[in-house]
């Protein structure tokens, strides 16, 4: 996985790390013992680890043993919203999608025993590619590459939404009926667990969404739950999506939820002054030289059997969900439970997200 990372090695290991320390959230001795029993074929020697920078929720590590590299995913440290950090759920969906046309890393092992490294985790193959999450990266792309990358992103989403859940063993992965109303209730509950400061307007947005949830005409599709450019591993020579990452919020429901959240990242945050240098939104959208959200939807609609319909409600839901996610990250940051840089900026995104969500539902904003 070609991505900036924080190098660290286990204490006593050869000194390829500036610190010689194991990254927080891992116990390499217990992990090595577990793999020696359950996947001895993966190791060519001692395991070394580095935290892959950029993830703002579940933690991702690159593990190296000799010439072998694999990726480990585990929940965040400390304050955890359990339903949003289910490792077995992530592992199940990428296992189901691996034989399809949706590009995902090959799953290798699931461990639900928290005694091994301190939390459930799973392993997957390392995939070559780049996660484009900042203007420093995307400014190096040509205009043609940005356009082709956006097109590949939408074509991949259309492919995902075209996979029948029952045909890949995911018929019971979610409850399509009432999906949108449950989304509002779920994220309201997550908000209550992450609330640590006054958040003007967020309760009004929640209430308006609950009162106006549309019928889910497209219910019954596999939904990623957090689909955006920087949750993809991509290449630009040639342009393509090598893998879709971060399936922690996946379910079976209304695919317009993916589109609404993508437009929230792309047109709402991507067009905000707060996007510059912000790890959630930097490098996305028309301001960064990519096609408009309207063009993205047109591309998707031409390839997916989905009624895109009026997206304003789904954009409002996307604003609410992302505001709650950002508030949860902000809360963990105030408790000192985040790893990496940029977390001090994420709390500032909540207010503009709430304002845009209210405007999209016809409220003040």
* Pair 73, 51: CB distance under 8 Å: no
Q: How far apart are CA 36 and CA 214, in angstroms?
A: 51
Q: Is the torsion defined by CA of 195, 197, 199, 200 positive or negative?
A: positive
| pTM recorded for the entire structure | 0.85
Nearest residue to 133 via CA among 59, 230, 236: 230
Extract the tokens encoding 218.
């497209």
Give the angle 216-217-223 at the CA atoms, nearest 5°: 65
- DSSP code string of 302-321: TTS-------HHHHHHHHHH
Spell out the per-residue pLDDT of the chain, length 365, in tens. 334 333 333 332 332 333 457 888 999 999 999 999 999 999 888 999 999 865 456 899 999 999 999 999 998 886 444 444 589 999 999 999 999 999 999 999 999 999 999 999 999 999 999 999 888 899 999 999 999 999 999 999 999 999 999 999 999 998 888 899 999 999 999 999 888 899 999 999 999 999 999 876 788 999 999 999 989 999 999 999 999 999 988 999 999 999 999 999 998 887 766 666 666 667 788 888 999 999 999 999 999 988 887 688 999 999 999 999 889 888 887 778 765 666 777 888 899 999 999 999 875 54
Q: How far apart are CA 240 and CA 149, in angstroms?
A: 7
List the beta strands (DSSP E) in the chain: 5-8, 48-52, 59-65, 68-74, 107-111, 121-125, 221-223, 232-236, 239-244, 251-253
Nearest residue to 230 via CA among 297, 101, 137, 162: 137
Extract the tokens encoding 318.
């996307």
Where helices occur in 7-86 by DSSP H, the ranges are 28-38
């Amino acid at each position: 996985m070609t991505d900036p990372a924080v190098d660290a090695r286990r204490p006593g290991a050869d000194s390829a790390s500036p610190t010689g320390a194991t990254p927080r959230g891992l116990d390499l001795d217990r992990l090595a013992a577990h793999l020696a029993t359950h996947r001895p074929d993966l190791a060519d020697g001692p395991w070394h680890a580095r935290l892959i920078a950029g993830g703002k929720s579940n933690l991702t590590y690159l593990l190296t043993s000799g010439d072998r590299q694999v990726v480990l995913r585990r929940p965040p440290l400390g304050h955890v919203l359990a339903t949003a950090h289910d490792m077995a759920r992530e592992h199940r969906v990428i296992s189901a999608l691996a034989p399809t046309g949706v590009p995902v890393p090959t799953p290798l092992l699931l461990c639900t025993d928290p005694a091994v490294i301190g939390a459930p985790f799973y392993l997957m193959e390392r995939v070559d590619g780049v996660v484009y999450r900042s203007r420093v990266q995307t400014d190096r792309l040509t205009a043609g590459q940005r356009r082709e990358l956006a097109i590949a992103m939408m074509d991949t989403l259309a492919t995902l939404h075209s996979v029948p859940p029952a045909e890949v063993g995911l018929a019971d992965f979610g409850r399509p009926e009432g999906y949108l109303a449950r989304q509002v209730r779920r994220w309201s509950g997550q908000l209550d667990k992450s609330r640590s400061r006054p958040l003007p307007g967020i309760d009004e947005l929640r209430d308006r969404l609950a009162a106006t949830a549309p019928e889910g005409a497209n219910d019954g599709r596999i939904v990623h739950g957090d689909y955006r450019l920087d949750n993809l591993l991509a290449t630009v020579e040639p342009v393509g999506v090598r893998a879709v990452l971060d399936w922690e919020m996946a379910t079976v429901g209304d695919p317009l939820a993916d589109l609404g959240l993508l437009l929230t990242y792309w047109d709402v945050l991507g067009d905000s002054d707060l996007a510059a240098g912000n790890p959630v939104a930097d490098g996305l959208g028309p301001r960064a030289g990519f096609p408009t959200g309207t063009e993205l939807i047109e591309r998707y609609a031409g390839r997916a059997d989905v009624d895109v319909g009026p997206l304003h409600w789904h954009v409002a839901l996307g604003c609410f969900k992302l505001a709650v996610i950002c508030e949860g990250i902000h809360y963990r940051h105030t408790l000192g439970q985040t790893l990496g840089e940029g977390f001090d900026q994420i709390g500032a995104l909540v207010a503009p997200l709430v304002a845009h969500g209210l405007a999209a539902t016809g409220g003040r904003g």
